[in-house]
Amino acid sequence: MIKAFVNDIPVEVEEGTTILEAARRVQVKIPTLCAHPDLPPSAACGLCVVKIKGSQKMQRACCTPLEEGMEIVTHDPELVKVRRTIVELILSNHPNYCLTCGRNNNCELQKLVADFAIRDELYDKIVRDLPQDSSTGTIVLDPDKCIKCGRCVEVCQILQDVWALSFLERGFNTRISPAGDIQLAESPCIKCGQCSAHCPTGAIFEQDDTRRVWDALLDPAKHCVVQIAPSVRVAVGEGFGLPPGTDLTRKTYALFRRLGFSAVFDTCFSADVTIMEEGAEFTERLKAGAERLPMITTCCPAWIDFMEKFYPEMIDHFSSVKSPQQILGVLAKTYYAQDRQIDPASIVMVSVMPCTAKKFEITRNDDMYASGSQDVDIVITTRELIRMIRQIGIDFLNLPDEDPDHILADYSGAGVIFGATGGVMEAALRTAHYMVTGENYKRFDFKELRGLAGIKEASIKLGSETLKIAVAQGLANVSQVLDRVIAAQKAGKPLPYHFIEVMACPGGCVGGGGQPYPVTDEVREARAAGIYRADRDSPIRYSHENPAVQALYNEFLGKPLGKRSEQLLHTSYRARPLYKK
Amino acid sequence: MHRGKRILIKDTGATGPDRTREFYSGFLKHLVEKKLDDAVQPVRVADIGLYDAGVVVHILPDDIVYAGVEEKDVAPIVSQTVCEGKTIKRLLHEHRSLQTRIVLRNCGVIDPENIDDYIGVDGYAAAAKVLGGMTPEETIGELKISGLRGRGGGGYPTWKKWEFTLNVDADQKFVICNGDEGDPGAYMDRSVLEGDPHSVLEGMIIAGFAVRAGQGYVYIRAEYPLAIKRVQHAIDQAYARGLLGKNILESGFDFDIEIRLGAGAFVCGEETALIASIEGKRGYPSPRPPYAAVKGLWGKPTVINNVETLANVPRILLKGGEWFSGIGRILTKGASRGTKVFALTGKVRNSGLIEVPMGTTLKEIVFEIGGGVARGRALKAVQTGGPSGGVISSDFINIPVGYEKLQKLGSIMGSGGMIVMDEDDCLVDIAKFYLRFCVDESCGKCAPCRIGGVQLLRILTRITDGEGRVEDLEKLRTICHAMQKASLCGLGQTAPNPVLSTLNYFEDEYREHIERRHCPAGRCQKLFSYAIDQDKCKRCGLCIRHCPVHCIAGNRETGFVINSEECIRCGRCFAECKFDAIQRD
């Protein structure tokens, strides 16, 4: 342990703790703009400078470890003056159209300018007029608003191992862009949106599709239906001051009706359907032997994009089951349309997702039009939903609880935990066990698969077999798992894993790229806890025991992997080049 | 007789035609007569370290200097001095040499492409001594006694760097030679790499042995093609002689050296950015700690030394730390020892590379070695340390040069740039020039340097354009302070030095630009205009002929007028007019 002083307050911390963190322990908040707990310190902004007694230099608190006996001064008139000057300088290189910025009222730079009471702009405004990049249709790059903190680049390179974003040019002309100055859509970008979730300003943000939703809702010829993803329910309340993890499922159902949707569905239901198909597929592959194992989950569209670009040799290992969003979309335009005698072409399927890549998934390939038209029409993120609620002036938190439209909404506890890392695997194992052995597993919880570790491994007895499981989150961790599989295959050794779950975003969908700001491990844990509470409190814990799912198979689909399922609920993959020309 | 005997010839006369060609032919003729033309080579050189001393002849390696040589002296020089080794007292130039050459000892003396030449002047003897019987600790101890400090700019004690690296346990360690010299006008490292590459390699071998590293990299900027070629050639020769590779000199010590090229970024001379560059990453500096000695190249302990530092190392190990620490005037305890190479340029009569003992005064450098200010103008200031150095007013001309003194005066030693300025130099303009370099070379990572530099440049441009405001001086100081304190690396922290040091010594000059819209040095073109005094004008038309933009109208009958709108204020009419009829105001 290290003993030192921060503003004369004694502090004791583990070796290696930064001054920034040590100060926080004694209730001193040093201002920062580039530091983020998910990322190694980049030391770019210079705001967190502090003084160490005995030295004339100022040191960055974000990257300087506290040492024994250090006496830190975090605030004095000189430090405040230096920090103010830095904020003023950054402001001189930042456009002033806050009012029309996606981060208005939620911008880390704006907050600092307010905190430092900057009233005049002392220095010449120098802003380059750089073009926006909205080529992906999911996230938009606005390089003029970039303060070069480097978070997005670190996220893309270190957290996700995608390397779509980098810095181009140098000095004052430094800007974020894909290497080679190409459009984001031509780059390896997988649209996960983690860059937008970490950006302190409005330089990277989700493409706003709320107007398209309003247009559809206002069109009397359209029959608008909506689905809400598992992880949205535990995060949307943050937009209204509730702590992360507060489950607002039934209020959002009421909300959707007030917004004007004709039917309210829940993606947790289609998650249960996914499990039925995936469980059956896994059982089949297990019987067939090692050739098509391990099987890898495919709920995450950013992960699909990543695998098609970076690991095309693993395509055969991908589950062919569509994601819950797409399954709900196609069922709404077939099963539901039939049931209600509605023209599928008049249905507008809107989904509310924690994710920017979901905007990309809905037109990913021809299979996304299995119903005869586009199965999901518009995707909005949690952040966009919050905006819609505010626009229309609904007192969201005081809405009464309502029920959804049961036909495509009732779900088991297994369906809701899709929103957290390890959840898909846990849900699949619950049902796979039943499918293989004919009886339910004696415990519901696979605690070893929960939590924020990058790679989680477990061995689970399934009948006579011991299954080896891996769960990876954050794409930088995925390569390790896949490389192990590839190495074993090449060496002709036994498979290290039978079944692998991958979620692109840290924490899974609760930490999705479209979730409310800010995102830290504490927030991810709190949201996941909300999800696991919902599972715990669920009367039904197995997808195969969900009566709505059973009804779907009895009335419409037949059996998992049956002819209709194959036609509507499954898809295929193909290798894609990293760089489009 | 030494096979590499040379006769260097230079006509140092300030006036009259250059006579070296005749002397060259004369020497050649007499050498042929004595059948010595294979063994002795006359060379016409560009610089010989003396000025206004007529024709100077410097005989190497005997180090005999004759000044005021006439053609009749050629025959006796060959017959007596070259053949018999006798000096001719009458011609002997007796000068108190202010220069001491350690780093540049072999430059221009040996053939840099011939390892035998280097070995012939005790080359690799230090490596043999160290590898043959010293421990790493003893090697570092000798450096500690010598007091050698980093010559790249930081001035960190070299032995400390080595000791830290030695004391870290690791399966692999590296030695990097920083040859990414980028200061405008500086070419100290280039001269060593081109003129004496083996001394740098030998320094690296010793460093590798002392810290137990197995691999070295010479990082050279790609703009130095000859240096790259010569270093590569030297590496190849060293391998062929068993001085690199496995079991060097049968000591059991293995060491390899490869070249890595810089891609033209000044900031890559900063050690963390240099490491990033070798690793194939964007040349961004990273925060320290961890220091390179603990976690450097590819996360392994790494020693990074500048070219000049490493070139000192073999000499120190061969002659002992005591010898080195005895060079230089003792200023304070633990002060700078040894010599420093400077690139002396600007408004000085004799510009070039010089190597002087630490503690030599600025006055000695400028007025004795440099021969004083060019064209007899008055000295205004001396700029040291390259673009991130500072300007020292002529009031401090008597200070001895060393790390501590220069820093106290708001400048730095840096890598050794030294630019002399006279009364025609505008200090605001000078500050702007250096700042622009740092702005161009800023990597863009940290906000204070990236934006602060550009804003400083804006304000300085405003001032030299005659649009300065009184509050600008305060703004300059505020931004400079934030940059010094909060920039991530040395480039940003020192980039404001030219501004702050000129503000410090020449605030009046700034004020004159702002308050009177006047540039006392007559440099800032937007602050004055040219007109023709019709009373003095003889209507000769010389000005019209020299005006590059044809902005002077009129003819010999009506007289001439300068169109101020079109005038680019180049000053040629002003300079050409024989009758002082062009007025500058």
Q: Considering only alpha carbons, which residue of chain A is nearest residue B283?
A: A170
The answer to whether the CB atoms of B454 and A122 lie below 8 A apart is no
The pLDDT assigned to B374 comes to 85
The pLDDT assigned to B46 comes to 65
Per DSSP bridges, beta strands B352-357 and B379-384 are unpaired
Neighbours of A52 (CB within 10 A): 19
CA distance A436 to chain B (A): 49
Of A403-407, A493-497, A542-546, the poorest mean pLDDT is in: A493-497
Give yes or no for A63 touching B (CB within 8 A): yes
CA-nearest of A340, A321, A299 to A505 is A299
Q: Which residues of B touch A44 (CB under 8 A)?
A: 445-447, 488
Q: Which residues contact B58 (CB under 8 A, 6 or more apart)?
A: B7, B8, B9, B10, B45, B48, B64, B65, B66
Residues of B near A (Cβ–Cβ under 8 Å) read 265, 282, 284, 286-287, 289, 439-448, 450-455, 458, 475, 478-479, 481-482, 485-488
pLDDT beyond 90 at A122: yes
* Residue pair A97/A129 in contact by the 8 Å Cβ criterion: no
pLDDT beyond 90 at A270: yes
The answer to whether the CB atoms of B287 and A44 lie below 8 A apart is no
The answer to whether the CB atoms of B287 and A64 lie below 8 A apart is yes
Q: Considering only alpha carbons, which residue of chain B is nearest residue A86?
A: B448
Nearest to B485 among A58, A93, A148 (CB): A58
The pLDDT assigned to B2 comes to 43
Give yes or no for A90 touching B (CB within 8 A): yes
Q: Which residues of B touch A125 (CB under 8 A)?
A: none
DSSP classification of residue B356: E
* Residues in A 169-228 with any Cβ partner in B closer than 8 A: 169-174
* Residue pair B172/B164 in contact by the 8 Å Cβ criterion: no
Nearest to A86 among B284, B448, B458 (CB): B448
Q: Which two tokens stand for residue A300?
A: 């995450």
The answer to whether the CB atoms of B487 and A46 lie below 8 A apart is yes
**Please, how many CA atoms are within 13 Å of residue B494, restricted to the half-sphere of its CB?**
24
The answer to whether the CB atoms of A43 and B444 lie below 8 A apart is no
The pLDDT assigned to B407 comes to 85
Q: Please state the ipTM of this predicted complex.
A: 0.91
What is the distance between the alpha carbons of residues B492 and A271, in angstroms, rounded to a whole number? 54
Tell me the CA distances in angstroms from A58 to A8, A28, A99, B523, one per residue in order.
Answer: 17, 17, 35, 37
Higher-pLDDT residue of B263 and A340 is A340
The answer to whether the CB atoms of A172 and B439 lie below 8 A apart is yes
Of A328-342, A522-536, B537-551, the poorest mean pLDDT is in: B537-551
The answer to whether the CB atoms of A148 and B452 lie below 8 A apart is no
What confidence tier does A216 reach under pLDDT thresholds 50, 70, 90? very high
The pLDDT assigned to B264 comes to 84
CB pairs under 8 A between A and B: 109
What is the distance between the alpha carbons of residues B106 and A372, in angstroms, rounded to a whole number? 83
Q: Which residues of B touch A49 (CB under 8 A)?
A: 485-486
| pLDDT per 10-residue tile (average), chain B, 585 residues | 71 76 91 87 74 81 85 91 87 75 86 92 95 95 94 89 96 96 87 94 97 97 94 97 95 96 90 95 90 95 96 96 87 75 89 89 90 88 89 92 86 87 94 94 96 97 95 97 95 94 95 93 87 92 92 89 89 89 86
Average pLDDT over residues A550-577: 95
CA distance A479 to chain B (A): 21
Q: Which residues contact A240 (CB under 8 A, 6 or more apart)?
A: A386, A389, A396, A397
Neighbours of A211 (CB within 10 A): 10
The pLDDT assigned to B526 comes to 86
Nearest to B451 among A60, A89, A166 (CB): A89
What is the distance between the alpha carbons of residues A62 and A33, in angstroms, rounded to a whole number? 10
**Which three-class secondary structure state does DSSP give residue A333?**
helix
Nearest to A43 among B446, B475, B481 (CB): B446
Chosen for mutation from A109, A172, A175 (greatest number of chain B CBs closer than 10 Å) is A172
**Which three-class secondary structure state does DSSP give residue A468?**
strand
Question: Residue A278: is it exposed, middle or buried by C-beta count within 10 angstroms (0-12/13-18/19+)?
Answer: buried
The answer to whether the CB atoms of A148 and B282 lie below 8 A apart is no
Average pLDDT over residues A557-565: 94
pTM of the model: 0.90
Give yes or no for A81 touching B (CB within 8 A): yes
- pLDDT tens by residue, A368-407: 999 999 999 999 999 999 999 999 999 999 999 999 999 9
Give yes or no for A157 touching B (CB within 8 A): no
The pLDDT assigned to B115 comes to 95
- pLDDT tens by residue, A453-480: 999 999 988 878 889 999 999 999 998 9
The pLDDT assigned to B331 comes to 60
> Positive or negative CA dihedral for A111, A114, A118, A124?
positive
